């Protein structure tokens, strides 16, 4: 038999697994040191009370013969799809519930969505980038072309008229750089995709961090986007679901390529390969969209935003260039004194006992940069910044 040779072109391990291993090694060698992680974007605030209550009630229902449920709809229960559609309505975006697909999180769908496209596509990916976009396209053997984020363009690369892509990945607020596209910038991307007949895969996992009302929090706030974009979102960062797992993908019915509605293809794919997210978790997810759930989860977002402000303030104080951190949980900064990303990662870990994510791990365009996340505990973030300051 033959294996998928494309896997042999990947790095040996996934970025965050490699970092976790390095941190484990350091801790094993230095058992008395307290290491503070501002590395992987994993949340630390517990689930909101409204979510916990909904999960408990759903668990009780599952334990009683009259309310027990077996297989649910592969696309997700209507109550949750409707709640998501109503959430979009508040952003001025009209969606039908059958344009929403419930998933176990953004990462899986960002990868799985490639199933509905033919192989050998030209895929335009920003550099630096969330490694899942890159790695999953390597796995299926697509041709990857890059659009570079740089200090000069504020890590907001714009379309390149020389390239005619089939698929375009965009993430705003961006992971890893925290940079956020304006409406006019996204309009340029949408126009470009429409002209090329391309599909934009828009990762909106951090949309809830946008506080500036003029910035778009969904690509569907842009004219023409429903004819060229799939939006992928998650409750991981919005409501602390990194361990609970629930997200959603929007495939508008007006998105047609080669005469086929992508909504129908995705439904076909999901009904065949996915059995949905558990009822209990979908009930918890629906609670996020209630008035109570929104108030509780938004207060956690404010907590994280305060951490981001603490990080940015420290970087500013030290005269270190950074972006993100205002409408985003990520702060992206230039490694001081010409350090490479991994050199600075080691220095931070060894001398300040702080874990960051090396920019180079997000692609060559991230070399010389570093990412901190604001998802930590407030006291520990403050301590991490004190340790960081002592490096200079
Ligand atoms: C990150 O740190 O980039 C994210 O936590 C990764 C993810 O959401 O999968």
Least confident of 12-16, 77-81, 236-240: 12-16
Residues 159 and 189: their CA atoms lie apart, in Å, by: 6
In the predicted model, is pLDDT for residue 15 greater than 90? no
In the predicted model, is pLDDT for residue 79 greater than 90? yes
Residues 130 and 359: their CA atoms lie apart, in Å, by: 10
Give residue 13's pLDDT. Answer: 78
Q: 31 alpha carbon to ligand 1 midpoint, in Å?
A: 27
Taking residue 161's Cβ as centre, other Cβ atoms within 10 Å add up to 9
3-state secondary structure of 323: strand
Tens digits of per-residue pLDDT, 250-305? 999 999 999 999 999 999 999 999 999 999 999 999 999 999 999 999 999 999 99
Tens digits of per-residue pLDDT, 103-139? 999 999 999 999 999 999 999 999 999 999 999 999 9
The answer to whether the CB of 175 is under 6 A from ligand 1 is yes
Q: Which residue bears the tokens 């501002």? A: 38
- Tell which wins on pLDDT, 390 or 290: 290
The answer to whether the CB of 361 is under 6 A from ligand 1 is no
Nearest CA residue ID for atom 5, ligand 1: 41
Tens digits of per-residue pLDDT, 140-176? 999 999 999 999 999 999 999 999 999 999 999 999 9
Give the ligand 1 atom nearest the CA of 132.
9
Task: Measure the CA angle with vertex 245, ends 356 and 305; round to 5°.
Answer: 45
Give residue 298's pLDDT. Answer: 97
Give residue 392's pLDDT. Answer: 84
Q: Which of 143, 156, 169, 285 is nearest to 230 (CA)?
A: 169
The answer to whether the CB of 40 is under 6 A from ligand 1 is yes
Element (H, E) at 372: strand 369-373
Q: Which of 310, 207, 197, 214 is nearest to 260 (CA)?
A: 197
Tens digits of per-residue pLDDT, 179-209? 999 999 999 999 999 999 999 999 999 999 9
Helices (H), 176-219: 183-196
**279-288 vs 78-89: helix crossing angle, rounded to 10:** 20
How far separated are the first and last CA of the chain, in Å rounded? 56
The answer to whether the CB of 329 is under 6 A from ligand 1 is no
Give the ligand 1 atom nearest the CA of 234.
8
Tens digits of per-residue pLDDT, 202-236? 999 999 999 999 999 999 999 999 999 999 999 99
Q: Please, what is the average pLDDT of the chain?
A: 96
Give residue 18's pLDDT. Answer: 87
The answer to whether the CB of 107 is under 6 A from ligand 1 is yes
**CB-count burial class (<10 Å; 0-12, 13-18, 19+) for 162:** exposed
Give residue 285's pLDDT. Answer: 98
The answer to whether the CB of 111 is under 6 A from ligand 1 is no
């Amino acid at each position: 038999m033959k294996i998928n040779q494309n896997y042999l072109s990947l790095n040996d391990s996934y970025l965050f697994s490699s970092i976790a291993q390095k941190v484990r090694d350091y801790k094993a060698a230095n058992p008395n040191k307290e290491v503070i992680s501002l590395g992987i974007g994993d949340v630390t605030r517990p689930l909101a009370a409204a979510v916990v209550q909904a999960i408990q009630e759903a668990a009780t229902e599952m334990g009683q013969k009259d309310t027990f449920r077996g297989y649910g709809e592969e696309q997700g229960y209507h109550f949750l799809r409707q709640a998501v559609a109503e959430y979009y309505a508040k952003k001025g975006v009209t969606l039908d519930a059958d344009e929403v697909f419930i998933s176990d999180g953004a990462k899986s769908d960002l990868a799985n969505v490639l199933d509905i496209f033919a192989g050998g596509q030209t895929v335009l990916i920003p550099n630096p980038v969330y490694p899942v976009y890159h790695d999953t396209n390597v796995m299926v053997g697509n041709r990857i072309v890059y659009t570079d984020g740089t200090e000069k363009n504020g890590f907001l690369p714009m379309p390149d008229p020389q390239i005619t892509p089939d698929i375009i990945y965009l993430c705003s607020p961006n992971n890893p750089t925290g940079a956020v596209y304006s409406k006019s910038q996204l309009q340029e991307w949408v126009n470009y995709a429409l002209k090329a007949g391309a599909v934009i895969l828009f990762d909106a996992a951090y949309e809830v961090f946008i506080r500036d009302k003029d910035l778009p929090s969904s690509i569907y706030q842009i004219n023409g986007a429903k004819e060229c974009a799939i939006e992928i979102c998650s409750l991981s960062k919005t409501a602390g679901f990194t361990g609970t797992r629930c997200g959603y993908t929007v495939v508008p019915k007006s998105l047609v390529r080669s005469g086929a509605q992508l909504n129908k293809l995705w439904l076909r794919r999901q009904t065949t390969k996915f059995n949905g997210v558990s009822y209990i978790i979908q009930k918890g997810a629906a609670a996020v969209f209630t008035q109570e759930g929104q108030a509780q989860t938004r207060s956690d977002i404010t907590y994280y935003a305060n951490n981001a402000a603490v990080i940015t303030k420290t970087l500013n104080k030290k005269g270190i260039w950074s972006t993100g951190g205002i409408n985003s949980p990520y702060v992206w900064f230039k490694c001081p004194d010409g350090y490479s990303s991994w050199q600075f990662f080691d220095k931070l870990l060894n001398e300040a006992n702080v874990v960051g994510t090396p920019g180079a791990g997000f692609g060559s365009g991230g070399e010389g940069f570093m990412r901190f996340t604001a998802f930590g505990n407030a006291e520990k973030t403050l301590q991490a910044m004190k340790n960081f300051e002592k490096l200079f």
